[in-house]
Structure 1
Amino acid sequence: MHCTVRRSHKKTTDRFGNLMELYEQNYMQLRLLIPQLRHGAITTAVSRVPGCLSLYMQLTEQSPYTSTLRLTYRFVNCGDETQRATAEPDLYLRVYHDARSAEVLSGFLHGQQHIPRQTRGLDGSWKLNRFLYKWLRYLLYRGHRIEVPVIAGK
Structure 2
Amino acid sequence: MVRSGPMMHLSPALDRQRAGPSFSGLMELYESNYLFLRRLLPEAEHGLCRVSPMARGAALHAELLESTPYTRTYFLTHQFAGGAALGPEALPALRVRIYYDARVAEVVGRGRRGKARDQGPSLAWRWRANRFLNRWLRFCLGEGHRFDSPVV
Report the TM-score range of the alignment, normalised by the length of the smaller protein: 0.7 to 0.9
Q: Aligned pair in 2 of structure 1 residues 49, 119: CA closer, same or farther (>3 Å)?
A: closer
Deviation per CA, 1:1-29: give whole Å up to 9, x if none: xxxxxxxxxx99x7011101100000000
Structure 1 CA distance for aligned equivalents of residues 58 and 68 of structure 2: 30
- Of the three residues 32, 36, 42, the one matched with 1:35 is 42
Question: Aligned-residue CA RMSD in angstroms?
Answer: 2.3
Percent identical:
40
Deviation per CA, 1:72-108: give whole Å up to 9, x if none: 0123331x62x33221100001100000000000126
Q: Aligned pair in 2 of structure 1 residues 20, 75: CA closer, same or farther (>3 Å)?
A: same
Report the TM-score when normalising by structure 2: 0.76
For the pair 1:90 / 2:93, whether they are aligned, the reply is: yes
Q: Give the structure with the higher percent helix.
A: 1
Structure 1 CA distance for aligned equivalents of residues 41 and 106 of structure 2: 15
Task: Give the structure 1 partner of residue 13 of structure 2.
Answer: none
Q: Is there any run of 5+ residues in structure 2 with no aligned partner, and where?
A: 1-18
Whether the 8 Å CA contact 2:50–2:61 is kept in 1: the answer is yes
> Residues 10-89 of structure 1 correspond to what in structure 2 (within 5 A)?
15-37=22-44, 39-41=45-47, 43-78=48-83, 81=85, 83-89=86-92
Structure 2 CA distance for aligned equivalents of residues 144 and 116 of structure 1: 27
Whether the 8 Å CA contact 2:119–2:125 is kept in 1: the answer is no
Letter in 2 for 1:18: G
Structure 2 CA distance for aligned equivalents of residues 34 and 85 of structure 1: 23
For the pair 1:117 / 2:117, whether they are aligned, the reply is: yes
Letter in 1 for 2:78: Y
Task: Give the structure 1 partner of residue 130 of structure 2.
Answer: 129
Whether the 8 Å CA contact 2:79–2:91 is kept in 1: the answer is yes
Q: Aligned pair in 2 of structure 1 residues 115, 137: CA closer, same or farther (>3 Å)?
A: farther
Letter in 2 for 1:40: H
Structure 2 CA distance for aligned equivalents of residues 148 and 102 of structure 1: 21
- Of the three residues 100, 104, 109, the one matched with 2:103 is 100
- Give the 3-state SS of the residue equivalent to 2:56 in structure 1: coil
Structure 1 CA distance for aligned equivalents of residues 130 and 78 of structure 2: 17
Whether the 8 Å CA contact 1:107–1:128 is kept in 2: the answer is no
- Give the 3-state SS of the residue equivalent to 1:58 in structure 2: strand
Q: Aligned pair in 2 of structure 1 residues 65, 116: CA closer, same or farther (>3 Å)?
A: closer
